[in-house]
């Protein structure tokens, strides 16, 4: 224990177990050591550590890291957290000199520095995984520009759309996630170290230099805020929650479309599971797991917000709860992103089934637009076409089968040129404004998406 001088008795076993965070914060070992080495250098710069001492400390820390890397680090019962474990081991390796490393530093500023560094690394690792998913969507969209499918609202047939348009609709959701991730990073990359326990550093530490060395872009402006600030973890979890909602929507679409009755897509066997009882089954387990994990991620966000609610100023031990939530969300995304990317990449699209599902009713809005072009105000044309739809239903025929005379019985503006409207290709092509489902609009959309991908990746 780092804090025993004043204590006469030891924690009970139950307290030790409750308090112990080593089981989960051990994954911070590399960042903790990285931050400690930089901190040792900073202490050396202000003369609190001699040059020779710095070399010893650095070498010692490198060895501890090597032990962790190699899996040979031996934890002790008193290693209540990763910081204690590393400092304990360092002292075994280099003696009392290890004790100089903590000069002016508290676990309060140390732990949040570690978590920020770790999170920055993981955000950097998640970014290309998300980008790969986006690229897969773009490629699939480019390769599918000739596939028309029924577009749905309320899960009811609405208007014909390009399958590529649907694919790209998810690209943009993920693009917003990328944009948000970049914005959050600027607030994660703020250095708390030098805040001490809460009051600041008493030895004139050069925090700006330390920030630069560790790759932070700014220093925390107020030490009391610095040790309590977990906004960055909340922001990350909120980011993940929204990304996870997008993933759940994508999963839901595909699960419904992969049903026997829709039959629009087939999930590759490599992303499906069978049944222990029913031999014919091929279940989209991958997508269901992704959809299901939305609860976990939103739950973690809610949980951390609750932990932070109404805490008094500065550091409280409640803050230890920030890590497991953050780690689990990181792990979850690393599990999911390659799978959903693989699902999209290997997705078998059944264009024929989509074409069969193109019901004439999907063209009803085109009929309205037809009347609009003939001068009928839209709201009235909507009403008249509603009458046409009903008439067709009563006669048990489709809109294309309904004779012109029936149309004209509803409204005299219907004429021979009606047939040009009752065409799925034409319907799609007509929606050629920016963002519309027309092939031309979609090509422009894909082009912009590709540009953004290049921009985002070179940005970095």
Residues carrying an active site annotation: 154, 275
* Least distance in angstroms from the C-beta of 406 to a copy of itself: 15
Cβ(248)–Cβ(294) below 8 Å: yes
* Least distance in angstroms from the C-beta of 324 to a copy of itself: 8
Write each residue from 276 to 315 as x if it is in contact with a copy of itself (CB under 8 A), else as -, in one continuous string.
xxxxxxxxxxx-xxxxxxxxxxxxxxxxxxxxxxxxxxxx
User: Can you tell me the distance from the alpha carbon of 350 to that of 262, in angstroms, rounded to the nearest whole number?
Assistant: 10
* Least distance in angstroms from the C-beta of 399 to a copy of itself: 8
The CA-CA-CA angle for residues 331, 78, 300, to 5°, reads 25
DSSP one-letter code for 447? H
* Least distance in angstroms from the C-beta of 279 to a copy of itself: 4
Tell which positions 142-201 bind a copy of itself, by CB under 8 A. Answer: 150-161, 165-166, 168-173, 176, 179-180, 183, 187, 194-201
- SS3 category, 363: helix
At 196, list the tokens: 């001490």
Q: Name the segment binding a copy of itself (CB under 8 A); options: 27-35, 61-69, 112-120, 260-268.
A: 260-268
Q: Which of 435, 429, 433, 406 is nearest to 418 (CA)?
A: 406
Tell which positions 383-412 bind a copy of itself, by CB under 8 A. Answer: 383-390
At 238, list the tokens: 């909120």
User: Can you tell me the distance from the alpha carbon of 31 to that of 53, in angstroms, rounded to the nearest whole number?
Assistant: 21
Tell which positions 216-245 bind a copy of itself, by CB under 8 A. Answer: 219-229, 231, 234-235, 238, 241-242, 245
Count of residues binding a copy of itself (CB under 8 A)? 205
Other CB atoms within a 10 A radius of the CB of residue 351 amount to 14
- SS3 category, 442: helix
Q: Name the segment binding a copy of itself (CB under 8 A); options: 24-32, 58-66, 132-140, 368-376.
A: 368-376
User: Can you tell me the distance from the alpha carbon of 281 to that of 260, in angstroms, rounded to the nearest whole number?
Assistant: 11
* Least distance in angstroms from the C-beta of 193 to a copy of itself: 10
Q: Which is nearer to a copy of itself, 419 or 440 (CB)?
A: 440
Given 59, 62, 99, 400, the residue binding a copy of itself (CB under 8 A):
99
User: Can you tell me the distance from the alpha carbon of 248 to that of 289, in angstroms, rounded to the nearest whole number?
Assistant: 9
- SS3 category, 143: helix
Q: Which is nearer to a copy of itself, 117 or 211 (CB)?
A: 211
* Least distance in angstroms from the C-beta of 258 to a copy of itself: 8
Contact between 365 and a copy of itself (CB under 8 A)? yes
CA 328 remoteness from chain centre: 13
* Least distance in angstroms from the C-beta of 453 to a copy of itself: 13
Q: Name the segment binding a copy of itself (CB under 8 A); options: 59-67, 69-77, 101-109, 115-123.
A: 101-109
Dihedral (C-alpha) 98, 99, 105, 107: value to the nearest 10 degrees?
80
Tell which positions 8-47 bind a copy of itself, by CB under 8 A. Answer: 8-12, 14-15, 17-19
Contact between 366 and a copy of itself (CB under 8 A)? yes
What are the φ and ψ backbone dihedral angles of 243, each rounded to 5 degrees? -55, -40
Contact between 139 and a copy of itself (CB under 8 A)? no
Tell which positions 309-348 bind a copy of itself, by CB under 8 A. Answer: 309-321, 324-325, 335-336, 338-339, 342
Q: Which is nearer to a copy of itself, 65 or 323 (CB)?
A: 323
Tell which positions 416-445 bind a copy of itself, by CB under 8 A. Answer: 427-428, 430-438, 441, 445
Q: Name the segment binding a copy of itself (CB under 8 A); options: 59-67, 267-275, 400-408, 411-419.
A: 267-275
Q: Which of 214, 184, 193 is nearest to 107 (CA)?
A: 193
SS (H, E, C) 291-358: HHHHHHHHHHHHHHHHHHCCCCCCCCHHHHHHHHHHHHHHHHHHHHHHHHHHHHHCCEECHHHHHHCC
Q: Name the segment binding a copy of itself (CB under 8 A); options: 25-33, 112-120, 131-139, 213-221.
A: 213-221
């Amino acid at each position: 224990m780092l804090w025993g001088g004043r204590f006469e008795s030891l924690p009970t076993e139950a307290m030790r177990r409750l308090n112990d965070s080593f089981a989960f914060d051990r994954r911070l070992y590399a960042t903790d050591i990285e931050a400690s080495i930089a901190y040792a250098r900073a202490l050396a710069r202000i003369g609190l550590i001699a040059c020779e001492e710095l070399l010893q400390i650095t070498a010692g820390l490198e060895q501890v890291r090597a032990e962790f890397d190699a899996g040979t680090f031996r934890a002790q019962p008193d290693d209540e957290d990763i910081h204690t474990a590393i400092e304990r081991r360092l002292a075994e390796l280099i003696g009392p000199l290890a004790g100089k490393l903590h000069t002016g530093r508290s676990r309060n500023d140390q732990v949040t520095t570690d978590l920020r560094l770790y999170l920055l690394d993981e955000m950097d690792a998640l970014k290309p995984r998300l980008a790969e998913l986006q690229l897969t969507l773009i490629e699939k969209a480019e390769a599918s520009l000739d596939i028309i499918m029924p577009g749905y609202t309320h899960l009811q047939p609405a208007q014909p759309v390009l399958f590529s348009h649907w694919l790209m609709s998810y690209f943009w959701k993920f693009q917003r996630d990328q944009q948000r991730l970049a914005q959050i990073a600027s607030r994660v990359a703020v250095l708390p170290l030098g805040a001490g326990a809460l009051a600041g550093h008493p030895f004139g530490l050069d925090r700006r230099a330390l920030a630069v060395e560790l790759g932070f872009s700014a220093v925390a402006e107020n030490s009391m805020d610095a040790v309590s600030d977990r906004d960055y973890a909340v922001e990350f979890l909120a980011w993940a929650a929204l990304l996870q909602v997008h993933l759940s929507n994508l999963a839901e679409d595909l699960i419904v479309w992969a049903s026997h009755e829709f039959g629009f897509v087939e999930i590759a066997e490599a992303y499906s599971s069978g049944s222990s009882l029913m031999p014919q089954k091929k279940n989209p387990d991958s997508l269901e797991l992704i959809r299901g994990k939305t609860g976990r991620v939103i739950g973690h966000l809610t949980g951390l917000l609750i932990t932070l609610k109404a805490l008094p100023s500065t550091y409280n031990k409640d803050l230890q709860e920030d890590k497991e939530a953050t780690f689990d969300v990181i792990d979850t995304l690393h599990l999911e992103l390659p799978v959903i990317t693989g699902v999209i990449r290997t997705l078998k699209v059944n264009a024929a089934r989509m074409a069969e599902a193109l019901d004439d009713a999907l063209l009803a809005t085109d009929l309205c637009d037809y009347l609009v072009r003939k001068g009928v105000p839209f709201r009235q044309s909507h009403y008249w076409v509603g009458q046409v739809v009903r008439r067709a239903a009563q006669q048990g025929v489709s809109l294309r089968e309904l004779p012109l005379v029936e149309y004209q019985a509803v409204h005299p503006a219907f004429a021979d040129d009606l047939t040009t409207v009752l065409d799925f290709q034409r319907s799609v092509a007509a929606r050629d404004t920016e963002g519309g489902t027309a092939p031309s609009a979609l090509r422009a959309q894909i082009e912009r998406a590709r540009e953004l991908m290049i921009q985002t990746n070179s940005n970095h």
